[in-house]
Amino acid sequence: MPSTFNAEGRKIGPGRSAMSVAYALVPMRRPIPLPIAAADFVALAVGASVAARRVFGTWVPWNAPLHGEDSIWSLLGFLAVGFLAGLYLSARVGPAGSRRPSYAGAMVLVATSLLTAMAGVVISRGYWSRSFLAWTVSVWLLGSLAARLMLRQGAWSERVVIISDDFRLVTDLKASPHLAIVDVLLPSGTPPRHMVPRTTLVLDLRAVLSDDMAQFVSTWSLSGAPVRSLASLYEEQLGRLPLVHIARGWELAVPVGRSDYEPLKRFIDLVLVVVTAPLWLLLAAPIWVAVRLDSPGKAIYAQTRVGRYGSPFTLHKFRTMVDDAEQAGPRFATPGDPRLTRVGRWLRRFRMDEIPQLWGVLKGDLSLVGPRPERPHFAAHFEREIPFFSYRTLVRPGITGWAQVNYGYADDVADTVEKLTFDLYYVRHMSIWLDLQILARSVWTVLSGFGAR
């Protein structure tokens, strides 16, 4: 059989794992999408022109009437250098191989250029205009975001060739509207004779490759064509982590890590709750009265839930069930649950019963966004039945979350496993951008009643 060598001249023998082959290859070169780069450059030019008009009274920046030896060319030059550096960095925001314009990429591009211009002016002691920079950056950012919004409206898909024998994951990926699967190859099989142009090779890192397949992967990567892992593609396309069933249990295909975003997330939670306090306090008063008048019992009930790192905490909600709803023991709510009160059904329909949980956010027990906090009885059961279930507690539980807006309500082990794939995705990818997306989708969840019971 033919031998395969990596970029360092080391032999890749038969039966090597896909993981070892992937690590032996050179890093994939990520091209900068030209339509996005062109749109960003036009937005920068328009921003500089509008800024010159507002600050200097001319549409052409280099015609600005400055005093003495002052020149705006150095400032424009630093912005241009920052633009090039920002293009390089913004192309690396988001998963490799994805051609869809990223809003985060626009933020990175503009911020990089602004910081470069500020640093350059300080070091060179060149001409400086805060008004000019402010107008340029503001118009530029709005233009870049608007361009991405338009580019994202069109149909888009990523062409891929997948090397994997896990057909369950491949079947899941076929449901993605933004993925065109050109071919599926067996890791131990015979590779095609030629590469497929304008296509990403997707590699299952758990697979064991034949010698010919390892050579095919090496040739593909060394040519500069994109190579991605199956797990990363699965996460990007489906918004969940792949939990792969194996003979003696479960394997987490991608490790779950910690996020440096947590301190900022906590600060944002506090600010949002305090700023909106007049609104939710105004809503809470009539709801409290309605619950008390509708049925006997307290308007707000307390319940123990499992919080961060498995620590118990007390959660408060408006009561939606009759006062003795769990005399026979804890159980999940069901559609048309007879234990619900008249007001309780309405509160659950629009999630108004969760308003008292904002007090838990102020205390630090909860976050606005995070995995749903489970009751100890159910959590203990799921931890016995579902490996990795406790990983959800690596972050603060939330009032709303990625699993809630994607999957809705779960009332058995099978549904909880499905929700866990979304929860672990959130733990792994937690960011301000994902939180904003969840909060925006939660508005629709409230209005539509999705997943309410």
* pLDDT tens digits, one per residue of 136-148: 999 999 999 998 8
Report yes or no: 349 and 449 within 8 Å, Cβ to Cβ.
Answer: yes
In DSSP notation, 348-393 reads HHTTGGGTTHHHHHHHTS-EEESSPPPPHHHHHHHHHHSTTGGGGG
Tokens of 394: 């690596």
Provide the pLDDT confidence category of residue 274 given band limits of 50, 70 and 90: very high
Q: What residues pair up with 245 in beta bridges, in sequence order?
A: 250
pLDDT category at 316 given cuts 50, 70, 90 is: very high
Cβ contacts of residue 438 below 8 Å, gap of 6+?
A: 369, 400, 401, 402, 405
Q: What is the residue extent of each domain of the chain?
A: 4-29+157-238, 34-151, 262-448
pLDDT of residue 21: 67
Report percent pLDDT > 90 for the chain: 35
pLDDT of residue 387: 82
pLDDT-above-70 percentage for the chain: 82
Output the pLDDT for position 270.
95
pLDDT of residue 5: 40
SS percent in the chain: helix, strand, coil, step 5:
50, 10, 35
pLDDT at 26: 44
Lowest mean pLDDT among 21-30, 372-381, 409-418: 21-30
User: H or E element: which one contains 116?
Assistant: helix 103-124
The mean-pLDDT minimum among 28-42, 123-137, 238-252 falls in 238-252
Q: Kindly indicate the confidence band of residue 446, based on its pLDDT and cuts at 50, 70 and 90.
A: confident
Give the confidence band of 296 by pLDDT, cuts at 50, 70, 90.
Answer: confident
Q: Which is nearest to 413 in space by CA: 378, 451, 443?
A: 378
pLDDT at residue 4 in the model: 41
C-alpha dihedral over 51, 56, 57, 62, to 10 degrees? -80
- Res. 283: pLDDT tops 80: yes
pLDDT grade for 173, boundaries at 50, 70 and 90: very high
CATH value of 4-29+157-238 in 3.30.420, 1.10.10, 2.60.40, 3.40.50 = 3.40.50
pLDDT band of residue 243 (cuts 50, 70, 90) is confident
DSSP 3-state of 104? helix
- Cβ-contact 317, 353 below 8 angstroms: yes
Number of residues that make up the chain: 453
Collapse the DSSP code of 35 into the 3-class scheme (helix H, G, I; strand E, B; otherwise coil) and give the result: helix
The conformational region for residue 368 under phi > 0 = left, psi -120 to 50 = alpha, else beta, is alpha
pLDDT in tens, 187-214: 999 898 888 888 899 999 888 899 899 9
**pLDDT at site 433:** 81
Q: Characterize 207-230 residue by residue with b for buried, 16 or more Cβ atoms within 10 angstroms of its Cβ, and e for exposed.
A: bbbbbbbbbbbbebbeeebbbbbb
Residue 267's pLDDT is what? 94
Write the CA distances from 198 to 61, 157, 227, integer angstroms: 40, 12, 12
Q: What is the pLDDT of residue 195?
A: 80
pLDDT surpasses 70 at 217: yes
Residues 105, 90 contacting (CB under 8 angstroms): yes
Measured at the CA of 353, the angle between CA 296 and CA 439, to 5 degrees, comes to 180
What pLDDT score was predicted for residue 3? 43
The answer to whether 439 touches 368, Cβ cutoff 8 Å, is: yes
Q: What is the pTM of this model?
A: 0.71
* Residue keyed to tokens 């009332």: 411
What is the average pLDDT score of the chain?
83
Confidence at residue 450, expressed as pLDDT on a 0 to 100 scale: 58
pLDDT for 244 equals 74
| pLDDT, tens only, 399-415 | 999 998 888 777 677 88
Angle between helix 34-56 and helix 130-151 axes, rounded to 10 deg: 150
**Residues 341, 346, 349, 352, Cα dihedral to 10°:** -100
- pLDDT given at position 152: 73
pLDDT 10s digits, 52-111: 999 999 999 888 888 777 788 888 999 999 899 888 777 655 444 455 677 777 888 898
- Smallest Cα–Cα separation from 425: which of 453, 448, 447, 394? 394
pLDDT score of 155? 62
Structure tokens at 308: 């961060």
Identity of the amino acid at 334 = T
Residue predicted with more confidence, 159 or 90: 159
Burial label for 103, CB within 10 Å (0-12, 13-18, 19+), is: middle
CA torsion angle for 39, 57, 85, 198 (degrees, to 10)?
A: 10
Compute the average pLDDT of residues 362-374.
95
User: CA quadruple 19, 21, 27, 33: dihedral positive or negative?
Assistant: negative
